[in-house]
Structure 1
């Protein structure tokens, strides 16, 4: 199974080895609940994290001074997906990749979820539809939910959303 990328170390905070992490997930509070976080393939034991402005401050067991923390700058933090239990009904976007995308308006599967793009204005599903990509905003008007059991993402498109703009 794939690794989850939690974020990137963008700096240090203080002199005791706290890492400033730019989070790439919606719930960085799970960081200290996993057994190990990996930076360049090296495992580290997380012992705490807290939100600070637009970053997360992460403490790792063996990183106890500014020099050790600074050596981890620009590293991506990962962990194996199977090491994370989000609880019933919760998922990472990457868990949905490859799911069928069912359109309620049309009444059938329109394609496969390729990925999710994160934008400041909101996240979007990127669906493979008739050999091209279609972006569908993940907002209540279009998002009909996810069935992990059926491996299906349900959406409601509007007229014109699936049409090829290049004509």
Structure 2
């Protein structure tokens, strides 16, 4: 079985007919309409999607064969997943966060800065969070924030898990 990708979390039930409320963990919540099935955390079986609708920021999903609240109550607070093969193809120079996390980050002189451990998404631009060893105390780590903009991010190589960045004075402090 291939790699599973988290795309949401079941936060509650909806009504009494077996629908669940899902908080999307994706930039494109309408993607649920494209799916025929998903997986629920801790369960190997596929859950076929019968219907999808939206209420504010939530997706409301009805699964085939689950027809009352008692059938779905046990899935509250569980994450939902898709197979890697169900991922949407991204435009060139666009990456999934899970592909970026774990990449080694280097400066333009090929000096290792650290490892990308998180991506903070905000309205202006994404911020790459890089964990690096503290120069003075090699037992400690520091977190460095690098804006994910063309000025700073020079090259991303997912295959080799590396990112080349342009640093400006004070960026690593």
TM-score, reference length from structure 2: 0.70
Report the equivalent of 2:148: 138
The Cα offsets for residues 5-31 of structure 1, whole Å up to 9 and x where unpaired, read as 222111122343221111122123333
Report the equivalent of 1:158: 168
Q: Say if 2:65 is the partner of 1:62.
A: yes
Report the equivalent of 1:95: 99
Distance 2:72 2:39 in 1: 14
Matched positions, count: 160
Q: Say if 2:115 is the partner of 1:112.
A: yes
Distance 1:96 1:6 in 2: 16
- Greater gyration radius: 2
Contact between 1:134 and 1:162, CA under 8 Å: does it hold in 2? yes
Alignment match of 2:56 (pick from 53, 56, 63): 53
SS at 1:10 equivalent: strand
Distance 1:161 1:30 in 2: 37
Report the equivalent of 1:85: 87
Q: Gaps spanning 5+ residues in structure 1: where?
A: none
SS at 2:76 equivalent: coil
* Higher mean C-alpha displacement, 139-148 vs 19-28: 139-148
Distance 2:127 2:48 in 1: 33
TM-score, reference length from structure 1: 0.72
SS at 1:62 equivalent: coil
Cα deviation for residue 150 of structure 1 reads: 4.8
Q: Say if 2:74 is the partner of 1:71.
A: yes
Change in Cα spacing, 1:140 to 1:20, as seen in structure 2 (3 Å) is farther
SS at 2:70 equivalent: helix
Cα deviation for residue 94 of structure 1 reads: 0.8
The Cα offsets for residues 72-91 of structure 1, whole Å up to 9 and x where unpaired, read as 211111234x3323215454
Q: Gaps spanning 5+ residues in structure 2: where?
A: 135-140
Cα deviation for residue 45 of structure 1 reads: 1.6
Question: Over the residues paired in the alignment, what is the CA RMSD in angstroms?
Answer: 3.1
